[in-house]
A = this chain, B = another copy of it.
Amino acid sequence: MIDDKRLEFLKNDYEQGFPAFCGLKVKHLEYGHFEANVQVRPEHLQQEGFVHAGLIATLADHTAGYSAYTTVSDDISILTIEFKINYFKPAVGKTIICRSKVINKGKKIIVSESEVFSVVDGKEKLVSKATVTLMAVPVSELR
């Protein structure tokens, strides 16, 4: 459903601009699924020393968007209409992982979910979950 060339393109496409600046790295992708992570640095923290909610939201949104990209052809761009994210516990640890998957694929509207885990002492803890509503827009309409 998605060929290797397209997978390779999306892998590189993910790591640019703001996500690259934030240190987001692709770990795995397949049709409808996308996994990425970030190695936590001091500039990722908030005033109490926890990973900032904004970095987690960036990871959750961007990875959700790319899970949708794996399900559309290369003349389609994915834009975020809205998302909602819950924070279950303050995120600590050196690595933050995000796993996103498409939970509903309509003609124009695609909804993905992102689960975000912090890794502490080698163990994953679910720290956040997001629902992301995305729109599939022909690239030609954005130019």
A44 to B85: give the CA distance in the assembly, Å. 21
Closest B residue by C-beta to A22:
B54
Interface residues of A in 71-90 (CB under 8 A from B): 77, 79-90
Does A142 lie at the interface of the complex (its beta carbon under 8 Å from any beta carbon of B)?
A: yes
How many residues belonging to A are interface residues under a CB distance threshold of 8 Å? Answer: 50
Does A11 lie at the interface of the complex (its beta carbon under 8 Å from any beta carbon of B)?
A: no
CB atoms of A62 and B58 under 8 A apart: no
Jot down 18 A-B pairs with beta carbons below 8 A, ordered by A.
Answer: A17-B45, A17-B47, A18-B55, A19-B46, A20-B43, A22-B54, A48-B79, A52-B62, A53-B62, A53-B80, A54-B61, A55-B58, A81-B86, A81-B133, A84-B84, A84-B85, A88-B104, A103-B129
